[in-house]
């Protein structure tokens, strides 16, 4: 959809703003938004950075508890995350509360519509300029001195409200489309897991005779499949961490795999590398190509069990296990799919009780009964799943691409509206 432009414009002389409608004013942010600094510890409605969704300004409820003083705010105030401003965490407060952490809390001055002001700050060009001003390499923050000096467009107050209403309506439509794509991704994920689970526990032949596995959570499996315990055909290897105090142990050429590297099904490298000296002076060892790598201790085990196969020799940290199948009865890819398909059940079966961090109990893992088809059948199942999963991956990629395009559309629309590149006055009712 194309939008009309204003009848006449004037040049601002500010590169990121460009030309703006002739009748609009320009003011520094501090003339439209006043900084609040009043401290409070009342904790009625605390808001931290984690409670604000990037770029949308949406409030996200969490169970985190906060201590210490925060900055008091009222309904209609604006909270802007000054830490890592590229995250564009900008909340328009709907109730009174306390901003806990790295915020600039601002109150609109007379003649400034708070909803419009929020959209001004969510302008991608505005965020880019602000982010370029930050200080602190590890924890970059924007100062109030810089932020308050930013020049903003100031349409007449009724026009601010009209633009905000237009953006509320249009961004809501876009957000609904984004939500639909996210729901599609979740449905694809569920169906993907269901197909894997059925293939690795029931096989591909719907008429195959079945037998009771003797395991309640496994149920029946094909009659000709064996039911060995994992420990009977598997070798387990752990890892360790070379001393951080010795620089000779680090920045070598050996990938040192930890849970943060387990984001794909294949491992070809790692975020950190160690030296041969580091390897020799730690409890880790070099694991050959083709091992099944499993995360056994990490917060990620709250919801998934990361599993992958290394395509290069790797060392592991202490939160990982490398599994190799010693008698040739199990394909590494078949086991990987088995873990993926039964992920939700295995999270319960393997969980270490009483651990302060989510962990897999090694004895539970080793004692697990695995339904194993003959190797030829494993190959057939793996090939079938490769074909089916490629379709799911393609659909998921398309949905993610659609989400990114919608987000770009959202930010472009906001930018165009708050800088006057489009005239939306005739596109919404003047009544809230």
Q: What is the pLDDT of residues 305-344, one digit of tens each?
A: 999 999 999 999 999 999 999 888 999 999 999 999 999 9
Same domain for 135 and 262, yes or no, is no
Residue 176 lies in a domain: no
Q: End of a domain among 122, 154, 186?
A: 154
| 67: DSSP letter | -
- 149 with 232, same domain: the answer is no
Do 128 and 260 belong to one domain?
Answer: no
Spell out the residues 6+ positions from residue 408 whose beta carbon is closer than 8 angstroms to its own: none
In a domain? residue 134: yes
Residue ending a domain, among 370, 385, 414, is 370
Q: Do 236 and 113 fall within a single domain?
A: no
User: What's the rounded Cα separation, in Å, for the pair 294 and 72?
Assistant: 46
For 429, residues 6+ apart whose C-beta sits below 8 A from its C-beta are: 165
pLDDT of 211: 97
The answer to whether residue 354 is domain-embedded is yes
The verdict on 255 and 150 lying in the same domain is no
Low-confidence residues of the chain: pLDDT under 70: 1, 430-432
In whole angstroms, give the CA distance from residue 293 to residue 259.
10
Last residue of a domain, one of 122, 139, 154: 154
240 and 124 housed in the same domain: no
- Are residues 128 and 240 located together in one domain of the fold? no
Q: Which H or E run includes 181?
A: helix 157-202
- What are the residues whose beta carbons fall under 8 Å from the beta carbon of 219, sequence distance 6 or more? 201, 212, 213
CA–centroid distance for 413 within its chain? 24
> Do 251 and 148 fall into the same domain?
no
The answer to whether position 282 is within a domain reads yes
Q: How many other β-carbons are positioned within 10 Å of the β-carbon of residue 209? A: 9
Confidence at residue 64, expressed as pLDDT on a 0 to 100 scale: 76
Q: For residue 404, tell me if it sits in a domain.
A: no
User: Is 194 within the bounds of a domain?
Assistant: no
pTM for the structure as a whole: 0.85
pLDDT at 356: 76
CA-based radius of gyration for the chain:
28
Question: 172-190 burial string, b = 16+ CB within 10 Å, else e?
Answer: eebeebbeebeebbeebee
- 3-state SS class at 432: coil
Q: Tell me: the pLDDT tens digits for 348-392?
A: 999 988 777 899 999 999 999 999 999 999 999 999 999 999 999
Are the CB atoms for 291 and 264 separated by under 8 Å?
Answer: no
- Residue 293 backbone dihedrals phi, psi, to 5 degrees: -95, 130
Whether residue 152 contacts residue 80, with contact meaning beta carbons closer than 8 Å, is answered with no
Give the pairing of strands 46-47 and 97-99: parallel
> Is 248 in the same domain as 355?
yes
Looking up residue 289, the CATH number of its domain turns out to be 3.90.220.20
What residue numbers bound the domain in which 91 lies?
25-154
111 and 234 belong to one structural domain: no
Considering the domain architecture, whether residues 146 and 261 belong to the same structural domain is answered as: no
The reply to whether 168 falls in a domain is: no
Asked if residue 388 belongs to a domain, the reply is no
pLDDT in tens, 230-268: 999 999 999 999 999 999 999 999 999 999 999 999 999
Q: State the Cα–Cα distance between residues 155 and 128, nearest whole angstrom.
A: 22
Total domain count for the chain? 2
- The verdict on 241 and 361 lying in the same domain is yes
Closest alpha carbon to 237 in 90, 366, 407, 150: 366
> Rounded CA gap, 410 and 172, in Å?
10
Among candidates 32, 36, 34, which has minimal Cα distance to 112?
Answer: 32
Encode 4-27: b = buried (16+ Cβ within 10 Å), e = exposed: eebeeeeebeeeebebbbeebeeb
Q: What angle separates helix 375-418 from helix 157-202, to the nearest 10 degrees?
A: 180
């Amino acid at each position: 959809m194309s939008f009309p432009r204003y009848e006449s414009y004037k040049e601002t002389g500010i590169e990121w703003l460009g030309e703006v409608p002739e009748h609009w004013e320009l003011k520094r942010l501090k003339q439209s938004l006043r900084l609040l600094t009043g401290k409070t510890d009342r904790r009625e409605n605390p808001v931290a950075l984690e409670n604000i969704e990037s770029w949308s300004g949406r409030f996200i409820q969490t169970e985190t508890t906060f201590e210490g003083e925060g900055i008091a705010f009222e309904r209609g105030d604006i909270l802007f995350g000054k830490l890592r401003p590229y995250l564009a965490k900008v909340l328009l407060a709907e109730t009174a509360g306390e901003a806990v952490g790295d915020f600039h809390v601002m109150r609109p001055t007379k003649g400034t519509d708070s909803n419009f002001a929020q959209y001004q700050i969510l302008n991608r060009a505005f965020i880019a300029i602000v982010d370029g001003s930050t200080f602190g390499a590890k924890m970059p923050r924007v100062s109030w001195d810089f932020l308050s000096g930013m020049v903003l467009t100031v349409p007449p107050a009724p026009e601010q409200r009209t633009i905000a209403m237009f953006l509320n309506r249009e961004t809501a439509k876009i957000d609904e489309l984004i939500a639909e794509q996210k729901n599609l991704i979740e449905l694809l994920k569920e169906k993907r897991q269901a197909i894997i689970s059925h293939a690795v526990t029931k096989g591909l032949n719907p008429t195959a005779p079945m037998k009771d596995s003797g395991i309640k959570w496994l149920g029946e499996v094909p009659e000709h499949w064996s039911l060995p315990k994992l420990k009977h055909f598997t070798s387990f290897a752990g890892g360790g961490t070379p001393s951080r105090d010795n620089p000779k142990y680090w920045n070598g050429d050996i990938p040192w795999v930890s849970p943060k590297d387990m984001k794909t099904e294949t491992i070809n490298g790692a975020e950190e590398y160690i030296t041969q000296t580091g390897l020799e002076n730690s409890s880790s060892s070099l694991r050959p190509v083709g091992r099944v790598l499993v995360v056994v201790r990490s917060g990620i085990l709250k919801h998934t069990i990361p599993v992958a196969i290394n395509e290069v020799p790797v060392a592991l940290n202490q939160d990982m296990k490398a599994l190799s199948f010693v008698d040739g009865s199990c394909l590494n890819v078949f086991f990987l799919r088995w873990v993926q398909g039964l992920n939700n059940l295995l999270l319960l079966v393997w969980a270490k009780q009483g651990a302060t961090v989510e962990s897999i109990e090694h004895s539970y893992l080793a004692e697990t009964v695995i339904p194993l088809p003959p190797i030829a059948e494993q190959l057939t199942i793996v090939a079938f799943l490769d074909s089916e999963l490629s379709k799911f991956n393609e659909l998921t990629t398309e949905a993610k691409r659609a989400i990114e395009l919608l987000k770009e559309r959202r930010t472009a629309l906001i930018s165009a509206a708050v800088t006057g590149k489009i005239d939306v006055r005739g596109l919404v009712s003047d009544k809230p």
